[in-house]
Amino acid sequence: MSAPLLQTTDLTKIYGKYRALDSLNLAVKPGEIVGLLGPNGAGKTTALRLVLGFLKSSSGTASVGGFDSWTQSIEVRKRVTYLPGELRLYETMTGRQLVTFLGKLRGDVVGAEVDALAKRLDIDPDRRLTEMSSGMKRKVALLAVLVPKVPLIILDEPTNTLDPTMRDEFLLQLKWARDSGKAILFSSHVLQEVEAVCDRVVILRKGVLVHHQEMSELTDGRKVTATFTGAIPTVGPDDMPLSADAITGQHLDLEYRGPLPKLLHWLGHQSVTDLKIEPQGLGKIYRFHHGNG
């Protein structure tokens, strides 16, 4: 089992009487994508800025590769690429110049990988940023994040302004980065994106980590929605009692964990007129913690 590349211990940031982040304990290992979820004001961006050494913590620590994020921030940033939610780029440069410049700051030599990824993202790396739309600039920023040979990628709402096709391509690139051994911390409002790429998810509420979820536990479960013509049975698959709150008239909403053949066998013996089976997602968990904002 590999040791965490990114580690926070009781990481806290206080502004006067306001706790933007409260005692965050988080670890990200090489070869995994960890999702950071929560609405605006939950503490996501504050946590990322503390890890990067942009802010000094009120208490607690953050480290990357064993280097303290505040006292050894230069060493930390050599090992990280970061995509902020709001871009501020050197717009007189071309995309290639920007990626090369940022690479040189880390001592990297950038080569043909820029052209290969630019082709997949459908951008011209030799075009000046001043001539690009916001979506094209976002793609250049993705180049700057994905090309460097660093062990950690940190992303804050990375798919802003991307069209659906490019969003899918970007998520694919994240999976490839993970499979190559990189660690990725990924903040997003879009649950479907998080479900598609993350291995683990943590949910923040008002600066506090309120839930940790292994995504494999969710993908093993299924949400079943069915409509019956006759009476709905009181016992479900594997002799599981069906609760009254799962039944509305002739309609059944069931959360099932178990072998799919048993579920299908049970449904095959019922008078079902309409059926939908889908993986359990993060929606219910997220709404439990943020149903009121």
User: What would the mean pLDDT of 140-159 be, rounded to a whole number?
Assistant: 92
pLDDT in tens, 27-71: 999 999 999 998 888 999 999 999 999 999 999 999 999 999 999
Domain boundary among 188, 217, 246: 217
Q: Would you state the pLDDT for residue 203?
A: 93
Question: pLDDT tens digits for 165-222?
Answer: 988 999 999 999 999 999 999 998 888 888 889 999 999 999 999 999 888 877 667 7
Residues 90 and 231 grouped into a single domain: no
In this structure, the answer to whether residues 100 and 177 fall within a common structural domain is yes
Contact 164, 195 (CB under 8 A): no
212 within domain boundaries? yes
Alpha helices in the chain (DSSP H): 44-52, 73-78, 95-106, 113-121, 134-146, 164-179, 191-197, 215-219, 260-268, 283-290
* 210 shares its domain with 224: no
Residues 49 and 124 in one domain: yes
114 and 248 housed in the same domain: no
Average pLDDT, the chain: 88
Residue-wise pLDDT for 150-172, tens only, equals 999 999 988 888 888 988 999 99
> What pLDDT is stored for residue 243 in this prediction?
65
Whether residues 12 and 141 fall in one domain: yes
pLDDT cut 70: percent of the chain above it:
96
Domain membership flag for residue 185: yes
Question: Of the ranges 62-66, 112-116, 274-278, which is most confident?
Answer: 62-66
Predicted confidence at residue 292, as pLDDT, reads: 54
pLDDT for res 293? 43
Check pLDDT > 90 for residue 275. Answer: no
Per-residue pLDDT, averaged over 271-289, amounts to 81
Show which of 186, 217, 248 is a domain's final residue: 217
Cα→Cα distances 142→54, 81, 119, 192, Å: 20, 10, 13, 20
Domain count, the chain: 2
Strand order in the sheet with 208-214: 80-83, 152-156, 183-187, 33-37, 200-205, 208-214
Q: Could you tell me whether strands 247-248 and 80-83 are parallel, antiparallel, or unpaired per DSSP bridges?
A: unpaired
What's the pTM value of the predicted model, to 2 decimals? 0.83
What's the rounded mean pLDDT across residues 259-273? 83
What six digits make up the tokens of 188? 């997003």
Contact indicator for 239, 262 with CB cutoff of 8 Å: no
Residue where one domain finishes, among candidates 217, 243, 274: 217
Residue 1: pLDDT above 70? no
The 10s digit of each residue's pLDDT in 218-249 is 766 778 888 888 777 777 777 776 665 677 77
Backbone angles phi, psi at 127, to 5 degrees: -95, 140
If DSSP codes are grouped into helix, strand and coil, which group holds residue 73? helix
25 shares its domain with 111: yes
| CATH (domain of 200) | 3.40.50.300
- Output the CA–CA distances (angstroms, integers) from residue 213 to 29, 207, 209, 289, in the order listed: 15, 17, 11, 13
Q: Quote the domain boundaries for residue 202.
A: 6-217
Is a pLDDT exceeding 90 seen at residue 110? no
257 lies in the same domain as 197 = no
